[in-house]
Structure 1
């Protein structure tokens, strides 16, 4: 039975009062609501804060200490005593403004430990644990206090000590980008430093030590899945995890700057949550809402100016060479005529958005900002692009413009212009923007994932709320669930995306890439990956490159990879009169329910989602480079209801390398007793629409 807010608060109050009288024996336990996860907090012999984590009585995190190195003062890590312990329980349900599921249960047991140093300074530190059925989150609180006001953190020493040499899916702890292929190794084999290859990415790569970026996901030999990340990253540095391959240990390594400062704050303040998702099935990691639940409730009940949608755009042209961003190029793609052609196509196929990149002045020298020659102007279009005419034409056709702001990571210049730029969007009723931050950060000495940039991305969200503009950030800070609080944070990149297939010199993204991403990067939040390329051979534009999937795999990604904004990215000529395009037209973008039917990380995934406000279901199945026979049980469908199933599947001789664009479409009636037996080609997939009959 669902408890009222008053009853829940009363239960929490009684629990907290009761705990104030409990004995402070420097050892405290707390369990998850279903008792499968147990956290043991205690003080070591040196009175260091420490914790262990158990799952079904198996130790999954061994003794791990907690603390901080501070500039020009003693570390905050030892000689503590427990002043107070408070416990509480919360069980509530909240509605998502948009998302993978309409409703989210937020059920946890909380333990708050108040610590004070036994030394003369008597500095205080609180540690809060929230223990869910699918994992834990903990954070530090720095109370307002006499001997700790201005805090400069040079290191956060939060440990995650593993019990065995687990299988790990990881990318290196780069301070500027997340755009790497995932490695699959044992923990003892992690070597991030070998991935430091200057000038091989659009962003400045800086990997100062053997560390990994989060989410980093593992599987134990006993079959337990662990994923380490953070939630509610606010006014703090992003966290990488330094790896000790010998002792099987990770330690938080915050992203700093050239002054070796990680975080500057004044008390009181809280750190982000350090999170560990713990599940028995790979798919349960995706269904988990731990990261979202550890963020504050939404600041608004609805976003009347933004609805989840699909969008076309002037974008893929630049990556395959049929157009250019800058006006001085051989063919400037962002021109009024082409934009109108895009709008006509979108309107004809009920696609509600249209992105234009390269519309504004400044692209001629955008890579040369170090020499101060970049002057992006976010309100001035090139001569061949009439912004107001395009907006008006789109409105007449029911297609809204998606604005584009490439900042080239010149934060100083962008922050000077952002109010003017967002005010223009509001005036023109443009309610979404794709932002970009390619290259090294200005001011120099800062990195994309440090506190300075975390605060910048936060400013953009706040401006979005003020000007009614939804934000799709590229070259972003990692997703940590802030979309719950700020629903204008609709999507972001932060992953090696589709464009690498068009121009990378390493063979593009292998088929296994997207069988790993849902269990790593996507655990943080929505991904703007741009699925749906039909011309997978890239002929005749890029003869040395290709998309390493079948066409059916590309369709399935609209279900497998979650985002409330999904691009329809290929040249429109490749979609016209194409039978498979019907799936892109039909597939939803806002969901009532999402279920992982079967999965194994790095091998395959089958995921089903029910569209919000309809009873339509869609299923996506993808595999790695191996052909695979799978079963799809439709037992999730409503009983006593017949559905019309349409399957877009690999043909018998499909293959991502040499025969990627052939496929079959099958149509039949099904119900919740139907089980499909599918054969996925190497690099293949299957996309299924399930529409109730009558």
Structure 2
């Protein structure tokens, strides 16, 4: 157990005992270190954490100060905290499985200590700290058994060295902005979305700031450096969010624990491959999960914004799912106004006759959204949901997409989780859109299949900007947004919607591997897939949406990324570049393959121009290296299947 507790005491003239307190906690692999300090030399006052990273026997201080504390409606828990005790060190060791995500089988271990404080009125506050091999987490706890209070503020804030590179997205309620890179004089003061990515000054490690295990007893927070350029404080929702509905300050009931404050730490590979956000979240109570089925989805909105109003278009996308061996098709908004040869019941009958499972869209409804698109309000209350889910179950609908939440206030967090609980009673999968960034809920509610919360391919419909920014944006998301949970970017489009692509066909194909989402909505029109070469078409039929393992091969945010994902004995590799000027030749070592097994490698890379592919097949093994050429804004995929002897 790698826990050091250092207590130093001395006697002052008044013969009162004063303690200078320091607690140091190391991860099991000794790489991640968190230390607790008092802001002055006595045992009563403000406290803060310091985070360090150990690499090659050299310690790097990555976050010099994390301010701590809370303010409740009845009293303060920040300025005059008296140290009471630190618990005996405890090993956290978990093994669990999820039916989707970066990896099916999850193992994690951490060292934990609970530090107990009291304020001048003797009210108690605990700080629970864990050091994992892939990061540091901490949360607050009020251990008293009863009481209800408004939380006035949370003082958690991260002091980030000015020279540290950072990738952050300007705050917006839908979490659909672009990440911007900055440091020193380029740093902007404003509110920011989760997660935030940072690189240490000496470049030795990376870290990602996020939160996890958010429940009904709190609100979502965001990062803000409006008060201090290099200090990112956790901030409650704006009162104006959700059209002013709901309270911005949460009401808590004791006993209470805050969400985990999560700092993923390590190499870029450590960040990308981490499952820490789900590891610290509450385990599911679901008795069975065999009804939860990841898979690819045909989706008509991108190519025809009102496509679900047209029965014939719905049938065309059902036929696409059949042709591509995809299990699902989504009926997006306005399905209640379907015409042109059939209505909803006719469409569902046709979909089922083809062996495809339907998913259906809903407006979240209520006064929190200005969007009037229908069907609206059918998910708004428990009674509404029970009535609707009862109908959907009889109609053979497998899941729902619910849109336009527009707030992370406590009332909206409660709404999200109420939906998931009610849906589970009907074995109904859920997809949130226009929504919160993942907070680990998929571990607690594994019927939560995916979230939007990203500027995805839908933005090709919104203006010319995304044509230019998408190539770089796509290479940032694997290191930021998609690290913390499923991300339905609605990728892999070859034709154009309202505004054109600048990415190559190889780049688009690679997004099926690069972006992780258990329900992967492939957004192009049917002819966009029917006209592909056989190799690319076969790849999109076969590539999974849930994985046994994930590996970052190489990459850098904003420049390029190459990832490998495993499903059973097969591996799939995807690589993309954002370069506007240079073509690239990449050499990919296959040393992650299993020893003594040969694999049939199908390589589909950029061809002579951005709408062309160059495909080849070869036999490889663990000692092999594959060489591929990428055009500007290009990409490639590789499938690796064991050769049967």
In the alignment, does 2:194 pair up with 1:214? yes
Offset of 1:650 from its aligned partner? 0.7
- 1:429 is aligned to 396
Q: Tell me, in whole angstroms, the C-alpha distance in 2 between the residues paired with 1:245 and 1:225.
A: 24
Offset of 1:335 from its aligned partner? 3.1
In the alignment, does 2:489 pair up with 1:529? yes
Question: Would the aligned equivalents of 1:620 and 1:686 in 2 still touch at CA under 8 Å?
Answer: yes
In the alignment, does 2:184 pair up with 1:183? no
Q: Tell me, in whole angstroms, the C-alpha distance in 2 between the residues paired with 1:52 and 1:102.
A: 33
TM-score (norm 1): 0.82
Question: Would the aligned equivalents of 2:312 and 2:340 in 1 still touch at CA under 8 Å?
Answer: no
- 2:347 is aligned to 390
Which runs of no fewer than 5 residues in structure 1 stay unpaired?
Answer: 1-10, 193-209, 325-331, 363-380, 442-446, 655-659
Change in 2 beyond 3 A, CA 1:458/1:333: closer
Offset of 1:76 from its aligned partner? 2.0
- 1:248 is aligned to 230
**Would you say how many aligned residue pairs link Structure 1 and Structure 2?**
605
- Once the two structures are superposed, residues 462-514 of structure 1 have per-residue CA deviations (whole angstroms, 9 ceiling, x without a partner) of 11211211111101111011101110111000010101123324243431101
- Once the two structures are superposed, residues 222-244 of structure 1 have per-residue CA deviations (whole angstroms, 9 ceiling, x without a partner) of 12101101011112221111116
- 2:159 is aligned to 161
Equivalences for 1:367-386 in 2 at 5 Å? 385-386=342-343
Offset of 1:409 from its aligned partner? 5.9
Offset of 1:688 from its aligned partner? 0.9
Question: Would the aligned equivalents of 1:360 and 1:382 in 2 still touch at CA under 8 Å?
Answer: no
Offset of 1:345 from its aligned partner? 2.6
Offset of 1:104 from its aligned partner? 1.1
Q: Tell me, in whole angstroms, the C-alpha distance in 2 between the residues paired with 1:36 and 1:108.
A: 12
- 1:272 is aligned to 259
- 1:519 is aligned to 479
- 1:43 is aligned to 38
Q: Tell me, in whole angstroms, the C-alpha distance in 2 between the residues paired with 1:422 and 1:619.
A: 38
Equivalences for 1:446-457 in 2 at 5 Å? 448-457=407-416
- 2:239 is aligned to 257
Offset of 1:181 from its aligned partner? 1.3
Offset of 1:33 from its aligned partner? 0.6
Question: Would the aligned equivalents of 1:141 and 1:270 in 2 still touch at CA under 8 Å?
Answer: yes
- 2:380 is aligned to 415
- 2:81 is aligned to 80
Offset of 1:49 from its aligned partner? 2.5
Change in 2 beyond 3 A, CA 1:114/1:383: farther
Question: Would the aligned equivalents of 1:334 and 1:385 in 2 still touch at CA under 8 Å?
Answer: no
Offset of 1:359 from its aligned partner? 4.0
Q: Helix, strand or coil: the match of 1:511?
A: helix
Offset of 1:82 from its aligned partner? 2.1
Q: Tell me, in whole angstroms, the C-alpha distance in 1 between the residues paired with 2:592 and 2:424.
A: 37
Q: Tell me, in whole angstroms, the C-alpha distance in 2 between the residues paired with 1:555 and 1:409.
A: 38
- Once the two structures are superposed, residues 286-336 of structure 1 have per-residue CA deviations (whole angstroms, 9 ceiling, x without a partner) of 1111111110112226422221111112212334xxxx2xxxxxxx64333
Change in 2 beyond 3 A, CA 1:188/1:116: farther
- 1:674 is aligned to 624
Q: Tell me, in whole angstroms, the C-alpha distance in 2 between the residues paired with 1:628 and 1:494.
A: 31
Q: Tell me, in whole angstroms, the C-alpha distance in 2 between the residues paired with 1:164 and 1:574.
A: 46
Q: Tell me, in whole angstroms, the C-alpha distance in 2 between the residues paired with 1:383 and 1:463.
A: 34
Q: Helix, strand or coil: the match of 1:52?
A: strand
Equivalences for 1:205-604 in 2 at 5 Å? 210-223=190-203, 224-235=205-216, 236-243=218-225, 248-258=230-240, 261-279=248-266, 281-300=267-286, 302-319=288-305, 324=306, 333-361=308-336, 385-407=342-364, 410=367, 413=377, 414-416=379-381, 417-437=384-404, 448-508=407-467, 509-535=469-495, 538=496, 542=498, 545-579=499-533, 580-604=536-560
Offset of 1:561 from its aligned partner? 0.5
Change in 2 beyond 3 A, CA 1:477/1:384: farther
Offset of 1:640 from its aligned partner? 2.3
Q: Tell me, in whole angstroms, the C-alpha distance in 2 between the residues paired with 1:576 and 1:634.
A: 31
Q: Helix, strand or coil: the match of 1:575?
A: helix
Q: Tell me, in whole angstroms, the C-alpha distance in 1 between the residues paired with 2:196 and 2:20.
A: 34
Cα RMSD for the two superposed structures: 2.6
In the alignment, does 2:127 pair up with 1:127? yes
- Once the two structures are superposed, residues 562-607 of structure 1 have per-residue CA deviations (whole angstroms, 9 ceiling, x without a partner) of 0111122211022224212221112111211111111111111111
Q: Tell me, in whole angstroms, the C-alpha distance in 2 between the residues paired with 1:277 and 1:428.
A: 43
Offset of 1:383 from its aligned partner? 8.4
Is the strand fraction higher in 1 or 2?
2
Question: Would the aligned equivalents of 2:587 and 2:628 in 1 still touch at CA under 8 Å?
Answer: yes
Structure 1 counterpart of 2:22, from 27, 30, 41? 27
TM-score (norm 2): 0.88
Q: Tell me, in whole angstroms, the C-alpha distance in 1 between the residues paired with 2:123 and 2:156.
A: 18
Greater mean deviation of Cα atoms: 382-391 or 591-600: 382-391
Q: Tell me, in whole angstroms, the C-alpha distance in 2 between the residues paired with 1:465 and 1:133.
A: 33
In the alignment, does 2:591 pair up with 1:635? yes
Change in 2 beyond 3 A, CA 1:458/1:345: same
Q: Tell me, in whole angstroms, the C-alpha distance in 2 between the residues paired with 1:185 and 1:607.
A: 25
Question: Would the aligned equivalents of 1:33 and 1:133 in 2 still touch at CA under 8 Å?
Answer: yes
- Once the two structures are superposed, residues 329-356 of structure 1 have per-residue CA deviations (whole angstroms, 9 ceiling, x without a partner) of xxx6433333223222322321110111
Q: Tell me, in whole angstroms, the C-alpha distance in 2 between the residues paired with 1:493 and 1:507.
A: 16
Which runs of no fewer than 5 residues in structure 2 stay unpaired?
Answer: 10-18, 370-376
Offset of 1:410 from its aligned partner? 4.3
Q: Tell me, in whole angstroms, the C-alpha distance in 2 between the residues paired with 1:226 and 1:552.
A: 30
Offset of 1:665 from its aligned partner? 1.4
Offset of 1:154 from its aligned partner? 2.4
- 1:138 is aligned to 138
Over 6 Å off, 4+ runs:
21-24
Change in 2 beyond 3 A, CA 1:89/1:22: farther
Q: Helix, strand or coil: the match of 2:443?
A: coil
